Amino acid sequence: MNAIQTLQQYIDESRRIVFFGGAGVSTESGIKDFRGVDGLYHLKYKYNPETILSRSFFLSRPDEFFEFYQDKIVQPTLNAAPNIAHKTLAKLEAMGKLTAVVTQNIDGLHQMAGSKNVLELHGSIHRNYCMKCGQKYDLEPVKNADGIPKCQCGGTIRPEVVLYEEPLDETVITKTVQAISEADLLIVGGTSLTVYPAAGFLDFYNGNRLVVINLDNTSYDSKAALTINGKIGEVLGQITL
Ligand code: APR
């Protein structure tokens, strides 16, 4: 059997699939990833992007943070639509075969495709709040802001996105560990698996059917029952549901 046929068999035989994904799931929707061949982190900036996307930079240089965040993170997602990878995963959940999508992405494309149980390890650009009064906002005031987004109370509106130096949400962690530990099939796609604690959650998988679908090799390939070096959308698009 070839790799796609093996993946098809695994999916047919599974009832508690978990998908664990990253920025590579959204590149076929036109959103750059970070470390891939033409990823965001390979472009030249005044500061290292992982410095800009950190809590200390956000607090000390909010104007420069929001300039980068707006230009490189928010604007590219505005016209992006879910691709076949997002849609296939939503279908698998609707069929009762997939229990959770665990994503490092903050673009909301899984929910737009119809996925219900999406565990967003790094938060979402669509959830924002005032740091002074706590007022919650959607993306509107952030995407339309010229500079630092401000609340009616005068406070700064910040995205509910996990910046470097910030902890992940405890509830999301608990749900992620539970879903992965109960999975019979864990499909990992479109992630370099280089950022922790996110990548470490894979170690809670107890099954023997880890599948990695990624353009580049990853450090988990050696533990996988099946690895496919290909485009996640093209691969999942070949699965018969
Ligand atoms: N199909 C499969 N794999 C792809 C595709 C695709 N269409 N496009 C890109 N890839 C692969 C790249 O080869 C790369 O290995 O997806 C991976 C994306 O890796 P990263 O850019 O490192 O993204 P990710 O793993 O999600 O980064 C994790 O880093 O900066 C932080 O918070 C940010 O959530 C992000 C975290």
Domains observed in the chain: 1-31+82-122+168-241 (3.40.50.1220), 32-79+127-161 (3.30.1600.10)
Q: What is the mean pLDDT of residues 111-138?
A: 98
| pLDDT at 43 exceeding the cut of 90 | no
* pTM (two decimals): 0.98
- Give residue 45's pLDDT: 86
CB neighbourhood size of 58 (10 A) = 22
- Give residue 160's pLDDT: 98
Q: What is the mean pLDDT of residues 62-68?
A: 97
Q: Does the beta carbon of 26 sit less than 6 angstroms from any atom of ligand 1?
A: no
Give all strands of the β-sheet with 157-161 in edge-to-edge order.
Answer: 136-137, 123-130, 157-161
pLDDT digits (tens, 9 = 90+) for 161-190: 999 999 999 999 999 999 999 999 999 999
Q: CB within 8 A of 55, min separation 6: which ones?
A: 163, 164, 165, 166
CA proximity to 124, closest of 180, 187, 168: 168
- Give residue 215's pLDDT: 98
pLDDT digits (tens, 9 = 90+) for 8-20: 999 999 999 999 9
Token pair, residue 215, equals: 């353009």
| pLDDT at 98 exceeding the cut of 90 | yes
Tell which one of 68, 191, 218 to mutate to probe ligand 1, the residue whose CB is within 8 A of the most ligand atoms.
191
How many whole angstroms from 153 Cα to the centroid of ligand 1?
38
pLDDT digits (tens, 9 = 90+) for 138-166: 999 999 999 999 999 999 999 999 999 99
Q: Does the beta carbon of 83 sit less than 6 angstroms from any atom of ligand 1?
A: no
Note every long-range contact of 60-68, with CB atoms under 8 Å and residues 24 or more positions apart, other chains counting: 62/148, 62/156, 63/147, 63/148, 66/145, 66/147, 66/148, 66/149, 67/147
Largest Cα separation within the chain, whole Å, is 62
